[in-house]
Amino acid sequence: MIIGVPKEIKNHEYRVGMTPASVRELTALGHSVFVEHNAGSGIGFGDDAYQAAGATVLTTAAEVFAKAEMIVKVKEPQAVERAMLREGQILFTYLHLAPDLPQTEDLIKSKAICIAYETVTDNRGGLPLLAPMSEVAGRMSIQAGARALEKSCAGRGMLLGGVPGVEPAKVVIIGGGMVGTNAAQMAVGMGADVVVLDRSVDVLRRIDAQFNGAVKTVYSTVDALEKHVLSADLVIGGVLIPGAAAPKLVTADHIKRMKPGSAIVDVAIDQGGCVETSKATTHADPTYIVDDVVHYCVANMPGAVPLTSTFALNNATLPFIIRLANKGYKQALLDDAHLLNGLNVINGHVVNKHVADALNLPFVEPKQALAAL
């Protein structure tokens, strides 16, 4: 198969769909890989590193899209990239379609085979291609939150871990999944007072055992959420519903009543955010203030640490890329129910129920859509 790796064009996005090591795995199997000039330069991989791995370097994204049977990216395709997709071409990347009607409409029009990293599943009910970025974002959320609490960012002027004789900041983490667990790990390490809210008692048991009681675990009700959010110095929103828009758990009324100078990091912003007052920001301008609360809502948080993120993501995506390349998309999807769950749009049909429901679009069963090809 011919695989194409374009350079990411989203603001401050330095990650790349495939590292030279990943390219080498595919060229060793007899596949061709075309990489756009400088695609990996943001993390120190020059064109020569890709050429040494067996790739051909092309000057423009248009050439890569024109030649490739499968496009491997990181972020959702921007409008100019969506216009280059064609019928029967595979797109394998993060899509986050539930809150994004214009992108979904363009992908339907393109008739491409669009597989979203974030809805591929595993046999434990997890999301293996979202997990590495959730790990990165969860760990980063505490760094970002600690910075947001500094006075220069309009925060309370608090040190997350305090010092002997001075209380640490109270960090409230909403959601005890991959984001929440990794955020808790960093927050505990920095000496904060940490509370995790979740609706699964099993998740709370796991966190309690993992941190030897160093994290307070609270079953999430409307009442508990309000109590802890209002007393927090830093709130981390880490709630995710696979493929669907995140629920607005922290309301505008909560924000009005939070401590002045407190901070909120909405990691769920890629899925629309779990805070009513959230709006997506960029690494260039990451925070804004609503009712004296600092909001950090960067839509691609792991993009700030692209070297770590690219390797973490590639470790997870590579086996699927190899399967798609070796078998072709139809066979690869039919052979693997978990990869099939990643299929969002194919040949002009939305085949992910969450996306169809969120955007009020007709839904087609994925196997039915595949059978029609």
Q: Given a cut of 70, is residue 243 above it in pLDDT?
A: no
Given 100, 198, 266, 270, which residue is catalytic? 270
96 catalytic per annotation = yes
Q: Are strands 343-346 and 113-116 parallel, antiparallel or unpaired?
A: antiparallel
* The predicted structure's pLDDT at residue 125: 84
Q: Go through the domains of the chain in sequence order and give each one's CATH number.
A: 2-120+307-371 (3.40.50.720), 131-304 (3.40.50.720)
Alpha-carbon distance of 226 to 242, in angstroms, equals 25
Q: What are 328-361's pLDDT values in tens digits?
A: 999 999 999 999 999 999 999 999 999 999 999 9
With beta carbons less than 8 A apart as the criterion, state whether 127 and 120 touch. Answer: yes
Q: Work out the angle at residue 271's Cα, subtended by the Cα atoms of residues 243 and 170, and round it to the nearest 5 degrees.
A: 125
Nearby residues of 29 by Cβ (< 8 Å), 6 or more positions away: 322, 325, 326
Q: What are 86-130's pLDDT values in tens digits?
A: 999 999 999 989 889 999 999 999 999 999 999 999 998 889 998
Torsion region of 76: left, alpha or beta (phi above 0 gives left; psi -120 to 50 gives alpha): beta
When pLDDT is cut at 50, 70 and 90, the band that residue 242 belongs to is low
Nearby residues of 273 by Cβ (< 8 Å), 6 or more positions away: 237, 246, 248, 266, 279, 280, 297
Alpha-carbon distance of 140 to 308, in angstroms, equals 11
Q: Given a cut of 70, is residue 64 above it in pLDDT?
A: yes
Instruction: Name the E strands within the chain.
Output: 2-5, 32-36, 56-58, 70-72, 90-93, 113-116, 170-174, 193-198, 216-219, 234-237, 263-266, 287-290, 293-296, 343-346, 349-350
Q: Given a cut of 90, is residue 271 above it in pLDDT?
A: no
Burial of 218 (0-12, 13-18, 19+ CB in 10 A): middle
Q: What are 131-159's pLDDT values in tens digits?
A: 999 999 999 999 999 999 999 999 999 99
Alpha-carbon distance of 335 to 350, in angstroms, equals 20
Alpha-carbon distance of 217 to 71, in angstroms, equals 42
Tokens of 216: 């307070």
* The predicted structure's pLDDT at residue 245: 76
Alpha-carbon distance of 33 to 333, in angstroms, equals 21
Q: What are 68-79's pLDDT values in tens digits?
A: 999 999 999 999
| Residue-wise burial string across 156-185, b where 16 or more C-beta atoms lie within 10 A, e elsewhere | bebebbeeeeeebbbbbbbbbbbbbbbbbb
- The residue behind tokens 């110095």 is 233
With beta carbons less than 8 A apart as the criterion, state whether 31 and 1 touch. Answer: yes
Given 96, 228, 349, 354, which residue is catalytic? 96
270 catalytic per annotation = yes
Tokens of 252: 């505008």
Please report, in angstroms and rounded to a whole number, the separation of the first and last CA atoms in the chain: 19
Q: What are 176-186's pLDDT values in tens digits?
A: 999 999 999 99
